Amino acid sequence: MQPYELSLTQAADAVRARQLSPVELADSVLERIGHVEPRLQAYVTVTAEQARRAAREAENDIAAGRYRGPLHGIPMGLKDLIDVAGAATTASSRVRADHRAQADSTVAARLAAAGAVLAGKTHTHEFAYGLTTPQTNNAWDRERVAGGSSGGSAVAVAAGTATFTLGTDTGGSIRVPSALNGVVGLKPTYGLIPRHGVTSLSWSLDHVGPITRTVEDAALVLTALAGHDLRDPASLTTPAIDYRPRTGMDLTGLRVGVPRNYYFDHVDPEVEAAVRRAIAQLESLGARLVEIEIPLTRYIQATQWGLMVPEATAYHERTLRAVPELYQADIRILLEAGELMPAGDYLRAQRSRTLMRQEWARMLQDVDVIAAPTVPATAVKADQETITWADGTVEGVSDAYVRLSSPANITGVPSLSVPVGHDTTGLPIGMQLLGRPLGESALLRIGHAFQQTQPAPTLAPAA
């Protein structure tokens, strides 16, 4: 096994034991980038020189006994919305082609303090306003979408061009590409990871979170990132804890909610079958399955768009008027549409979110987590605009991909996407676990237990 093939946990164990040097690991990942990046286009920019320098520093520190923890010397990628001092933050847009960050974002600073090594900045759908990341190709089939908006981050992990990455999630943008590329994606509780220094799409829906090979890896990154930051008004004051899950597989006593509505409506039969098999596996580990009814489903998509569209337009107000021609056509249309949305509609969306939060809190009193598909279909062809369901209903690809992930953004609850197999064409399928606010430990415990019953994750063969 080459170093770039190692999961974060495996690489960290090898580095700590002095069986693998950070320089060897960084060189392996950078060589892998050089080999597959022309086909996948996961990166906006590769910081090879900076990565090698940081890897040498990590190696020297570890040799001198200054080991900082499991992220020390580990190569990572950061979505190109996340500021790193002196580096470009383009948001994959011509609008910000010349923008360079003056200071580190909170998450970049925390990862640097933990000793992580930046391999580069990964592509996003322009300003994170989309669910496909058109610049980037799916790691399993280059003719299919990567998912978005953190498509570059998910593809980098799936292809072995980063040991872990960070993405952002406003309506599913960590979990959707994670599911479509067969990796793990965690959207934490709203406010658990600070967003200072991260380009916003919709301030009341935005989250930052890790994309990794395994659930245990995600827990390591979350442990390094969670914690209060005064510079983020939404940042929670929750004390920092160690999120690493227990190694046991016994889920006795845990209640897993299985939706009887919404989450299995208009879902590809192969996706549904794989997710239901995974749920049955949780039951075999001791969890008790509880049927639940998802509340207020008719308002979910209207609420998501009612919040996101005007908030995004407000963020882009100046540049949209100054340089509208620099935006891609699909993004410009969405931003201009936001200028036409009445204030009353935005306020109604806020009221709807409040009601949803209340109803979800009641529902989650009866279960510890909810298990459901992450997305209703696997990765579509790059030029495909709609999905036609068995009953003849036609749905836009972006609407389909966001439909099952957006409730966690509206309510702010944590959600973890875990790979649960592949369809008959070999494309990955994801299951999401949704929990109570600050219920990450339960999600990670259950996801880790499930992964221990599965074959070890492998890199995408198309990469």
Contact at 8 Å (CB) between 452 and 403? no
Give me the catalytic one of 150, 173, 200, 352. Answer: 173
User: Which of the residues 7, 105, 149, 406 is marked catalytic?
Assistant: 149
Distances (CA, A) of 162 to 8, 245, 325, 444: 9, 23, 34, 21
- 79 is annotated as an active-site residue: yes
Residue recorded with tokens 């699909």: 330
Report the SS3 class of residue 14: helix
The residues, ordered by sequence, that sit 6+ positions from 19 with a Cβ below 8 Å of its Cβ are none
The one catalytic residue among 21, 28, 79, 415: 79
- Indicate the SS3 state at residue 97: coil
In whole angstroms, what is the distance from residue 29 CA to residue 23 CA? 10
CA angle, 143 as apex, 141 and 146 as ends, to 5°?
70
Which uninterrupted H or E stretch holds 416?
A: strand 415-422
Cβ distance 449 to 249 under 8 Å?
Answer: yes
Q: DSSP secondary structure string, 223-259?
A: HHH-S--TTSTT---PPP---PPPS----TT-EEEEE
Residue 335 corresponds to which tokens in the numbers above? Answer: 């931003």
Whether the Cβ atoms of residue 268 and residue 376 lie closer than 8 Å to each other: yes
The sign of the dihedral angle between the CA atoms of 85, 87, 88, 91 is negative
- What ranges in 295-439 are assigned the alpha helix state H? 300-315, 317-322, 329-338, 343-363, 397-403, 406-411
The answer to whether 415 is a known catalytic residue is no
CB of 379 within 8 A of CB of 268?
Answer: no
- Going by the DSSP 8-state scheme, the letter that residue 285 receives in this structure is T
Query: What are the CA-CA distances from residue 288 to residues 255, 310, 347, 413 (Å)?
Result: 5, 41, 39, 21
Residues with active-site annotation: 79, 149, 173
